Chains A and B, each alone.
Chain A
Amino acid sequence: MTTFTIDDLARLLRECAGEEELNLRDDALELPFAAMGYDSVAMLEIAGRLRADYGVTLDYGEILPAETPRRLLELVNTSMAGDR
């Protein structure tokens, strides 16, 4: 079963939003993206990459409220499960 993991998210964030020193540990899952310096345009960029690379389509109304890595992981994995 394909899931979108914390490592996948960390790699995506690095590529989209360029924070090489990001190290998403378990306790960072609750940290708001905004607090890590990722603004709304960064989230739109991530949405674009999720669609292009993973076939997961999230519109702005869905991705912007996913304010933490944990919520985004849940959202992406729910969407992937729902496609099956």
Chain B
Amino acid sequence: MTATVVTGIGVIAPTGLGTERHWANTVAGRGAIGRVTAFDPGGYSSRLAGEVTGFRAGDHLPGRLLPQTDGLTRLSLVAAEWALRDAAMDPPALPEYGIGVVTASTAGGFEFGQRELEKLWSKGPQHVSAYQSFAWFYAVNTGQISIRHGLRGPNGVLVTDQAGGLDAVAQARRRVRDGTAAMVCGALDGSPCPWGWVARLATGQVSRAEDAARAYLPFDADAAGYVPGDGGALLVLESAAGARARGVHSWYGEVAGYATTFDPPPGSARPPALRRAIEDALADAGLAATDIDVVFADGAGVPERDRAEAAALRAVFGPRGVPVTVPKTMTGRLGAGGSALDLATALLALRHGVIPPTVNVARPVPGYDLDLVTRTRRQPLTAALVVARGHGGFNSAMVLRGGHGDTDRD
């Protein structure tokens, strides 16, 4: 079977607009977490976030699209355009039903929806925008990307919180293997509004620290929650044979393996299912644990969840058996966008032979027995594992194989 490869990437993240700026800031360990500016966080127990800054929708999108789009839909549209351009893909030149879209979302267009709900209750139903009919909906990012670029192939959406980015790319890989020429996939996610904020605070897992450098510390002795954020990445996926057929002979890497599992209910005697997701992803890739050169961890930042993830990694790779890193310490947890961004960052790491750092973690818990990368590390990398867990019990794992194209086996 021909490999499924990534030929284009579009990134919009707190660490930068565009792949290059994101990668440069990430390698340099420049964190982007700060006090929330999208709304006044003063009344809440948590006030820090990783926000996308410097993005003016009017600079990137036609005016006609602005009244009908939530902020995250706008980011999705621009990231999709950048990913398609990066892939040198011109949709009108491909078969009409040849390209599909699958994205993931944690909550849909909450910012847009909150505004319309406020109008509903303060002014009355006649003041609610007609665009609310779709602008709030989880699938709207897929829909708007599809409409804008005429991508009439198989479309879909997944809602699995932080695991969503991996799950969307996995679904895209299924479609490519079934014969779809190409898929735009991944996620840009986040709800920069009070409604989204309180929904996240309700999990009890958001850090209450005031200091941005001390708020989100996955695998650290002082771990006390995570910091939310917005953004993510979209990828263009196609078969290696299809890429070659349209004259593309180099790419970022291959989506080599994937698996997803769901945790047993609280109180069950059965263990969390993350270990099985990792092992099944390796098996799907036809690789052994020793073939993996770096793990991009989920990094929940909540002690019991860190402990569970460390246990799973230790069981599969052995104590300090593989470099583990959490570059989302620089951005916060971006929901489905977080795992999509991890995929993009991992592909860049494979291409450049650089493991980006886990920042701010000064006291990794010794008992976790992880080789946690706290300073940028340069070494050749051939395969990466990306792990993501979603609130409620989702576990997904994806194996990426690096490679530049025609020197690789098919």
**Which residues of A pack against B, CB within 8 Å?**
14-21, 37-38, 41-42, 44-45, 47-48, 51-52
Residue contact B67 to A17, C-beta cutoff 8 Å: yes
User: Could you list which residues of chain B lie within 8 angstroms of chain A, going by C-beta atoms?
Assistant: 62-68, 126-131, 133-134
Judging by beta carbons under 8 Å apart, are A41 and B130 in contact? yes
Closest to A46 in B: B130
Q: How far is the CB of A38 from chain B (nearest CB, A)?
A: 8
User: Across the interface, do B63 and A44 meet the contact criterion of CB distance under 8 Å?
Assistant: no
CB distance from A28 to the nearest CB of B (A): 15
A42 proximity list for chain B (CB < 8 A): 68, 130
A79 to chain B minimum Cβ distance, whole angstroms, is: 16
Q: A18 contacts which of B64, B126, B128, B134 (Cβ < 8 Å)?
A: B64
The 8 Å CB contact of B129, one of A20, A21, A37, A45, is A45
| B244 to A: closest C-beta gap in Å | 37
User: Once the chains bind, are A19 and B130 in contact (CB under 8 Å)?
Assistant: no
Q: How far is the CB of A22 from chain B (nearest CB, A)?
A: 8
Secondary structure class of chain A's binding surface, majority of residues: helix
How far, in angstroms, from A66 to B187 measured CA to CA in the complex? 38
Given pairs A48-B126, A48-B128, 9 additional interface contacts (CB within 8 A): A18-B65, A19-B62, A19-B64, A20-B63, A37-B64, A42-B68, A45-B67, A45-B129, A48-B127
Look across to chain B and name the residue whose beta carbon is closest to the beta carbon of A36.
Answer: B64
Which of B64, B65, B133 counts the most chain A CB atoms within 10 A?
B64
Min CB gap A14→B, angstroms? 8
Q: Which of A20, A37, A41, A52 contacts B127 (CB 8 A)?
A: A52
In this complex, which of B65, B67, B134 has the most chain A Cβ atoms within 10 angstroms of its Cβ? Answer: B67
- Within 8 Å by CB of B126, from A14, A37, A41, A51, lies A51
On whether the beta carbons of A41 and B64 are closer than 8 Å, the reply is: no
Shortest beta-carbon distance from B140 to chain A in Å = 12
Residues on B with beta carbons closer than 8 Å to the beta carbon of A37: 64
Q: Is the CB of A48 within 8 A of B129?
A: yes
Please name all residues of chain A whose beta carbon is closer than 8 Å to the beta carbon of B127 when the two chains form the complex. 48, 52
Residues on B with C-beta less than 8 A from A44 are 130
